[in-house]
């Protein structure tokens, strides 16, 4: 299963796709599966399952706290794959987001085979570039997995072309320089990055920008093919440690708000195209 049909369906509906992230094993393996299914039910088109890692250099404090909680709970790569299998069974394309070291330790070919067997659509690799990831590219191709690499405002035109040519599924545009995390405002670096990326690829472009509200989702959906939300969703669960049901209810509310936002943004994009 690729993420491509989800982006195509969103495009046919005149909107951006909503991509939701939570780490596996948070707040527990079973609780994480429940939370991810809530994201699906509330309107996410694609799910990112984070593989908790002990040295998350690109993650902000919110995602770090959730990943550490999962690690303290004993989450293993096998639990991540079990989570993928449970979420993919809903019919929603499900990808894993992970640093490269855990995949290398697990075994690249073994990881690709097990991810495909679990119904996973592919892998987002924030600290692996195509020119240093030939082993992953070959394994992904053998198992028909999406290869989702990152581009950034600092990417040269040459690297944009090289990176996007190696992608399959979508291109992940990280439009904030620095670690992940929800932000009060969106970045003026994102639209130019998306425009530059469109010049070198026909793949959908998803933007990760610290989105935390429906209004921000709408703003990004006006120019991007996908709106990626992680820290804001994680924060909801972190804020309800003693009342998980309340956290799940708030998670559903926020995801619904974000899903409505990508639809408003799609309408705005149509208005701009007709102007």
Instruction: Select the more confidently predicted residue: 188 or 215.
Output: 215
Q: Which of 69-83, 177-191, 205-219, 227-241 has the lowest average pLDDT?
A: 177-191
Q: Residue 150, SS3?
A: strand
Q: Residues 123-134: pLDDT tens digits?
A: 999 999 999 888
Active site residue 59: yes
| b/e map 168-196, b = 16+ CB within 10 Å | bbbbbbbbbeebbbbbeebbebbbebbeb
- Among the listed residues 41, 45, 48, 138, the single catalytic one is 48
Task: Supply the mean pLDDT for the chain.
Answer: 90
Q: How far apart are CA 190 and CA 77, in angstroms?
A: 33
Structure tokens at 165: 């040519």
The pLDDT of residue 75: 95
The pLDDT of residue 60: 77
**All structural domains of the chain:** 4-274 (3.20.20.70)
- Among the listed residues 59, 79, 114, 219, the single catalytic one is 59
Instruction: Select the more confidently predicted residue: 85 or 1.
Output: 85
């Amino acid at each position: 299963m690729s993420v491509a049909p989800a982006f195509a369906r969103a495009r046919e509906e005149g909107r951006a796709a909503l991509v939701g992230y939570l780490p596996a094993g948070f707040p527990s393996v079973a609780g994480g599966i429940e939370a991810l299914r809530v994201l699906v039910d509330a309107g996410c088109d694609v799910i990112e399952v984070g593989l908790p890692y002990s040295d998350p250099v690109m993650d902000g404090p919110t995602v770090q706290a959730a990943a550490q909680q999962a690690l303290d709970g004993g989450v293993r790569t096998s639990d991540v794959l079990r989570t993928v299998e449970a979420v993919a069974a809903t019919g929603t394309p499900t990808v894993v987001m992970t640093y490269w070291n855990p995949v290398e330790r697990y075994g690249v070919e073994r990881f690709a085979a097990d991810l495909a067997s679990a119904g996973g659509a592919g892998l987002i690799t924030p600290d692996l570039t195509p020119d240093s990831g030939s082993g992953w590219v070959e394994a992904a191709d053998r198992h028909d997995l999406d290869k989702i690499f990152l581009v950034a405002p600092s990417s040269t035109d040459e690297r944009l072309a090289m990176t996007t040519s190696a992608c399959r599924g979508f291109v992940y545009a990280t439009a904030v320089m620095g670690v992940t995390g929800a932000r009060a405002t969106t970045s003026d670096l994102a639209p130019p990055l998306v425009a530059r990326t469109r010049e070198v690829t026909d793949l959908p472009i998803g933007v990760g920008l610290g989105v935390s509200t429906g209004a921000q989702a709408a703003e990004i959906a006006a120019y991007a093919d996908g709106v990626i939300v992680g820290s804001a969703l994680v924060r909801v669960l972190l804020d309800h440690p003693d009342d998980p049901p309340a956290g799940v209810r708030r998670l559903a509310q926020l995801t619904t708000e974000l899903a409505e936002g990508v639809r408003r943004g799609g309408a705005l994009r149509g208005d701009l195209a007709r102007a």
